[in-house]
Amino acid sequence: MYRFRYHWVLALLWLATPNGLSAQNESDERALIEIHDGVTISKDSLFLLNLRFRMQNRIGFTTVSGEDLSVNAVEARVRRLRLRLDGFVMNDRLRYYIQLNFSRQDLDLESDVIAQPVRDAMVYYHFNENLYVGFGQSKLPGNRQRVISSGNLQFPDRSIANSAYTLDRDFGVFGYWTIPIGRQQLQVKGAVSSGDGRGALPINEGMAYTGRMEWLPLGAFANKGDYSEGDLEIETKPKLSIAGGYCYNDRATRTGGQLGPLLYEGTDITTFIADLVFKHKGWSASAEYFNRQADQPISENAEGAIRSVSVGDGFNAQLSRYFRSKYEIASRYTMVRPTSEVAQLRARTDEALLGASRYLNGHRIKLQAYVGYRWIDEQPGFDYPGNSWALLFQVEFGI
C-alpha cells in the first residue's frame, strides 16, 4: 500500500512541476518523434507513457438572418475534451498513440446513435527517423487542415469546405517517408484502410486507398510549423509547403466517405486534394482545394428517402499576422460548391470570417474569437433568405 501511494504522490508532484508542461506542437496524424510535453512516466529505456489532456470551452450564437441580428441559436458547450496517451514499449522504435474523447460532438452523437469514444489507436514501428509505418485507427493523410490537430488551429473550427470533403479517420495500414533533398524535403504518405470510418462494422469488402505527397522547397519549418496554423515561431526565412493527395474509396458506405450517415446503396467515391502553406516573419498564408466525385451520388430506399454523397468542389484560404505580443489577427474565406447532381439537395455556401487570438502558452492555452458571415446561392445580400452572421468565443486549455 505504501508503495502504491508513493507512486501516486510522485505523479502528482510531476504534474505540479512547471517543466512538466510545454507548448510544443502536436500532430494528430503520426506518432511523435520527440515526446517531451505532458505528464511522463517511464521505466529505464523499456517503457514510456506520456499523458496529456486538452479541452475547448465555447459560447457563440448565429443570427436569424443577415438583416435580423436577433439570436437564432446559441452554442454553449464543451466542444472538445480529449485525453491523449503516447510513448514506446521495449524500445523507442515501437511506439503507440491513443486518443480518447468525451464531448458529445466528438462522440459522433450528433450524427449517429452509437458513441465513438476512440479517436486514435495506433501502433507504429520506426525504421529510422525518416521512415515508419503504423497499424490501427488514425487520420488518413488527407487535407492539411484536417490533419492539423484541432488544438493547433487559428480559428475555433475547421472550414466548411473541410466539413464537406475531408477524409477523416479510418482503420488500416499507414506509411510515412521523409526524403531529404539537400535543403529541400519531400514527404510521401499513404494508407490502405477500411474506407468506412472509425468504429465501422464489417459491411463489405471495399477498401480505401489514399496517397499524399508534400514538397518543402525552402526546407523544414521550425517546430514542425507546416502542421500548425499561424506563424507562432516567426520564421526568419520564408518557408513553403505544397501538397497534393488522392483517395479512392471502393464501395463507400457513408455520405462523406468515412463520415456521415449510411448510404442506402454503396458507391465508389474519389477525392482530390491540393493545399499549400507559406510562413515568414509572423505572416502565414494557406489554401486548400477539394474535388469529390461519386459513381452514384444519390441513394434512395424503398420508402423514397434520399441520402446523397457530398460531391462537388470546395476552396478555403486563410491569411494571418502573428505579433510578438502573442496576439494574432486572422481572416478566412471558404466556398463549397455541390455538383449539379446534388444541387437541389445542397446549396452552394460561402463564408467569410475575421478572427483574433491571444496565445498565453502557444497553442496549448489560448483565447479565440471570430465574427463571420455566411451566404448561400451566391447571394451575399443581407436580405437573402438563409444568410446569417455568427459570433463565437472559445478558451483552449491543455498540457
Q: What is the domain-level CATH number for residue 80?
A: 2.40.160.10
Secondary structure class of 373 (helix, strand, coil): strand
Q: What is the pLDDT of residue 288?
A: 98
pLDDT tens, 275-317?
Answer: 999 999 999 999 999 999 999 999 999 999 999 999 999 999 9
Residue 146 CB coordination number (10 Å): 24
Residue range 243-250: mean pLDDT, rounded: 98
Supply the pLDDT for residue 109: 75
Give pLDDT, residue 199.
Answer: 86
The percent of residues above 90 in pLDDT, for the chain, comes to: 80
Above 70 in pLDDT, residue 24? Answer: no
Mean pLDDT of the chain: 90
> What average pLDDT score do residues 241-260 get?
95
> Which pLDDT belongs to residue 17?
38
Please list, residue by residue across 21-42, b when 16 or more beta carbons sit within 10 angstroms of its beta carbon and e when fewer do. bebbbbbbbbbbeebebbbbee
Does residue 242 surpass a pLDDT of 60? yes
Residue 220 CA to its chain's centroid (Å): 21
- Residue 344 neighbours by CB distance under 10 Å: 11
Phi and psi for 346 in degrees, rounded to 5? -135, 125
Please answer whether residues 150 and 156 qualify as being in contact, where contact means their C-beta atoms are separated by less than 8 angstroms.
Answer: no
Higher pLDDT, 35 or 384: 384
> For residue 13, what pLDDT band results from cuts at 50, 70 and 90?
very low
Q: Which residues contact 312 (CB under 8 A, 6 or more apart)?
A: 164, 165, 291, 292, 336, 337, 338, 339, 342, 346
What would the DSSP string read from start to end of 108-168? Answer: TTTT-SS---EEEEEEEEEEETTEEEEEEEEE-S--HHHHB-GGG-SSSS--HHHHHH---
326 versus 37: the higher-pLDDT residue is 326
User: How confident is the model over 309-338, as a mean pLDDT?
Assistant: 97
The cell 507548448 sits on which residue? 23
pTM across the whole model: 0.88
Q: Are residues 71 and 61 in contact, defined by beta-carbon separation less than 8 angstroms?
A: yes
Strand 91-101 versus strand 118-128 pairing type: antiparallel
- With pLDDT > 70 as the criterion, what percentage of the chain qualifies? 90
Yes or no: say if 149 and 28 are a contact pair by the CB < 8 Å rule.
yes
- Structural domain span for residue 316: 2-398
The pLDDT of residue 323 is 98
Q: What is the pLDDT of residues 103-154, one digit of tens each?
A: 988 887 766 667 889 999 999 999 999 999 999 999 999 999 999 999 999 9
Whether 189 shows a pLDDT value over 50: the answer reads yes
Position 218 pLDDT exceeds 70: yes
The x, y and z cell numbers of residue 194, run together, are: 477500411
Q: Is the pLDDT of residue 213 over 90?
A: yes
Write out pLDDT tens, residues 333-371.
999 999 999 999 999 999 999 999 999 999 999 999 999
How many domains are there within the chain? 1
Residue-wise pLDDT for 49-91, tens only, equals 999 999 999 999 999 999 999 999 999 999 999 999 999 998 8
Q: Give the pLDDT band of residue 36 (cuts 50, 70, 90).
A: low
Say how far apart CA 176 and CA 182 lie, in whole Å.
19
- Give me the pLDDT at residue 112, please: 65
Top pLDDT among 91 and 11 is at: 91
User: Which residue's C-alpha cell is 472509425?
Assistant: 198
Q: How confident is the model at residue 23 (pLDDT cuts 50, 70, 90)?
A: very low
Is the predicted pLDDT of residue 252 greater than 70, yes or no? yes
pLDDT of residue 10: 40
